[in-house]
Structure 1
Amino acid sequence: MSAAATVPVTDRQAAPIAARVEAVLPVLRADAKQIDHDAAFPVRGLAALRESGLMGLLVPSEHGGLGGSLTDLAHVAQELAGECLSTAMIWAMHCQQVAALVRHGSPGLRAELLPRIARGEVYVASVTSEKFKGGHLLSARSPLTDEGDGALRFDRDAPIVTGGGHADGFLITLRDGVDAASHAVTAVYADRDRLTVEEGVDRWNPMGMRGTHSIPLRLHGTVDASAVVGRRGAFKDVAVADFVPAGHIAWAACWLGAVRGALRAVLNLLRSPAGRSQFDLSGQQLRSRLARVRMDLDAMAALLAQVTAESDGRRSAADAESQPVQLRLNALKIFTAERSFACVDELIRVVGLRHGYMRHADLPLERLFRDLRSASLNYADDRLLAANGAMCLLDREVSLAG
């Protein structure tokens, strides 16, 4: 178990969220290049996030957290990703798990776990991927078995667990029994020290998102019945109401924030004395490319704000499952994944080979080009496009926001 942050809870709750973010950014800025080079987990970045209280952003204030909203999540994710996309995604995915725990954890689980998350003691990783089914959320193969007296046992292989080697706890999806259908999925929470955790032999060495350290894990052990998150066999309800919205909003905010940070860096270069001597700032092609990037940023930000406001204002599970809401939620993920990658490609064209393509360049464009290539693969866009196409056929009124 990682060491707890030392700031008292009362002080932690009093400090503005913006001040907490500002305290963390220098660490992310200093370490981003090195964790990408080494494909290493951002140990210092996570320690700074623990200390800041931001690990408990979505934890209600009565449990010692900041009581933040999804709007707060989107804002903080953008700021963190402007310095290090890998660290931002690690934090954002932790918040996705916390959103599910806050809304769907049992009273006993919430009372015991949420204060520890708020104190920075628990980083929660997601265990939803599985061999032969990939990252499909609403199916599972490994069964949860009843051992009697409320004990539940499982043995779970996962090919990818973001930050799994450093997580203090896990939110795990399982088939609800040996004889249950694959779509009868149950989620449970387990502390790391309650499990046997075996890391796979495959070294994490991807093209991008290298700091997320998304390794294979095998987890087996026993939890109490109070560890079930939501109803047995009904993880779909958790996913539709909170898990997916928080995830799509968090991912989109990270991708948007990374490109926003990249555009700021490019504009600073162009407006510097060295940039003014190297680039023709009055050139139509340069200005057109900058304009397209800015338009894409504004479009992504507008869609993110719309979907986030809908999610924060939602009153019922039926609202969450409505076709127009689901269409916009999936569109947020797809559109931001596609356009964020396209924006970095365009910015590389703006600054050229020396500043945009070389690994040793001061601008982060080469790293972000590799990082953002994963965005459309991170829960595949093709799967979401197929789902949205089916819903389009049913929504004959073409129900748009507003």
Structure 2
Amino acid sequence: MTQREEEPVPESDVADVVAVLSAHAADVDARGRFPAEGFAELRRRGYLGLLVPAEYGGMGAGLAELTSLAQRFAGGCLSTAMNWAMHCQQTDLVVRHATPELRASLLPRIADGEVYLASVTTEAGKGGHLLTARDALRTGDGLAVEREAPVVTGGLHADGFLITLRDGPDAAAHEVTLLYAGREDLKVEQTGAWRTMGMRGTDSVGLRLTGRVAPECVIGERGRFREAAADSMVPVGHLAWSACWLGAARAALAGLVRWITARGRRPGGPDAASPLVQERIARIRLDLELVSAYLGKVTEEVSRIRARGGRLDVPSVQIHLNTLKLAASELTFRAADRMVQLAGLATGYGAESPLPLERTFRDLRSAALNYSNDRLWTANGTLSWADRAVTLL
């Protein structure tokens, strides 16, 4: 761990960012718009470069700091935090797997807040299946990109894209190549809208991308995206997403506890002295404590393995990462559901409530769908045959 990783980001700085995110969260949700104010603040304060090494001008932080900040930012606005977390996920891929030429040219721009990265992995007919691709990369004068994706989180606002493509017209579906394309290298056309129950501020529209990039823009080895995904994209994604969901639920519980205890024994709301209310709060707290503890342990495990140059694509570690995503997505949503029930119709379910429980409930409902839990349950069952020692975290 570097000295930079050991030094926490100043609390006042984080609090200022969270205040900006909180101030615009309701409007972002109501209008289904990209959180421009929050992202401008993240750019200005250097948080797009959180994972960029100090030698390139970044903060040089690690996964523990990423998950800590993701929780804090999600407590202000979950949509903003998720967009930022996915940018950090893409940044990690550049840091760990890009060519020296691409790192030298791109990482300082990310650190300066100039480049917000979006991920292009979805395709019609395969959904979010990460390790296969249909649209093919074509070579010639550079690398030709013709890619259509039904969901690109923050894509209309991104300055650069990390794009998966089949390695060539004759390549198999699993021979996937990842490459970077700057917005200036592409023609970007919107093909679909983003009108959803929750997570409205992620602005995850459909895009068609066409253009051409240089060979040094390939990230990892051609046709072997699976290796970079196992080392970087999957672990950082599961850690960051889980932290965001936990942070949103945690902030909601903090607001609910303050609201209940401030009411005292006044009629018309939950009574803090009621054993039933106390038991319900305890159950909500239990779910969040379990997610927090598991998130912390998986973060430690992944950080430790990466620090010694080990592999993350072993069955037990993959199970732990998948379990984290499953637990975080299901338990934080269950907590939000219980908070709505406890707060009641007007305060818990109402869109005009002083507590944003209704928004939190809608946002967290997406967690099990964001890289479908159905796929992960099946994967963990299959991986369990290979980990016959049952290597628990």
Q: Could you say whether these structures have the same fold, taking a TM-score greater than 0.5 normalized by the shorter chain as the test?
A: yes
TM-score (norm 1): 0.93
C-alpha distance after superposition, 1:358-390 (max 9, x if no partner): 010011110011111110000000101101001
Contact 2:264 2:271 in 1 (8 A): no
Contact 1:269 1:275 in 2 (8 A): no
C-alpha distance after superposition, 1:112-147 (max 9, x if no partner): 000000000000000000111111110001111111
C-alpha distance after superposition, 1:43-86 (max 9, x if no partner): 11100000111110000000000001011100000000011100
> What pairs up with 1:165-314 in 2 under 5 angstroms?
165-200=156-191, 202-273=192-263, 277=267, 278-314=269-305
C-alpha distance after superposition, 1:330-377 (max 9, x if no partner): 000011000010000011111111110001001111001111111000
In the TM superposition, residue 321 of structure 1 has moved relative to its aligned partner by: 1.0
Q: Which moved more, 1:59-68 or 1:276-285?
A: 276-285
What RMSD in Å do the two structures reach over aligned CA positions? 1.4
What stretches of structure 1 of length at least 5 have no aligned partner?
Answer: 1-13
**For 1:67, which of 60, 75, 93 is the aligned residue?**
60
**For 1:160, which of 128, 145, 151 is the aligned residue?**
151
Contact 1:161 1:215 in 2 (8 A): yes
Distance 1:363 1:157 in 2: 39
- Residue in structure 2 matched with residue 138 of structure 1 by the alignment: 131
AA partner of residue 337 (structure 1): S
Question: Does 1:328 find its partner at 2:320?
Answer: yes
Contact 1:23 1:52 in 2 (8 A): no
**For 1:27, which of 17, 20, 34 is the aligned residue?**
20
Question: Do the aligned partners of residues 203 and 313 (structure 1) sit closer, same or farther apart at CA in structure 2, a change above 3 Å counting?
Answer: same
- Identity over the aligned pairs, expressed in percent? 50
**For 2:85, which of 73, 92, 96 is the aligned residue?**
92
- Residue in structure 2 matched with residue 338 of structure 1 by the alignment: 330
Distance 1:82 1:379 in 2: 22
Distance 1:182 1:289 in 2: 48
In the TM superposition, residue 21 of structure 1 has moved relative to its aligned partner by: 1.8
Distance 2:310 2:289 in 1: 30
Distance 1:328 1:107 in 2: 32
**For 1:36, which of 5, 11, 29 is the aligned residue?**
29
Distance 2:10 2:239 in 1: 18
Contact 2:264 2:272 in 1 (8 A): no
Question: Does 1:117 find its partner at 2:110?
Answer: yes
Contact 1:39 1:205 in 2 (8 A): yes
Task: Please give the secondary structure, in 2, of the residue aligned with 1:379.
Answer: coil
- Residue in structure 1 matched with residue 360 of structure 2 by the alignment: 368
Distance 2:100 2:200 in 1: 37
Aligned residues: 385
TM-score (norm 2): 0.95
Contact 2:144 2:212 in 1 (8 A): yes
Contact 1:20 1:53 in 2 (8 A): no
In the TM superposition, residue 318 of structure 1 has moved relative to its aligned partner by: 5.4
What stretches of structure 2 of length at least 5 have no aligned partner?
Answer: 1-6
Distance 2:386 2:146 in 1: 40
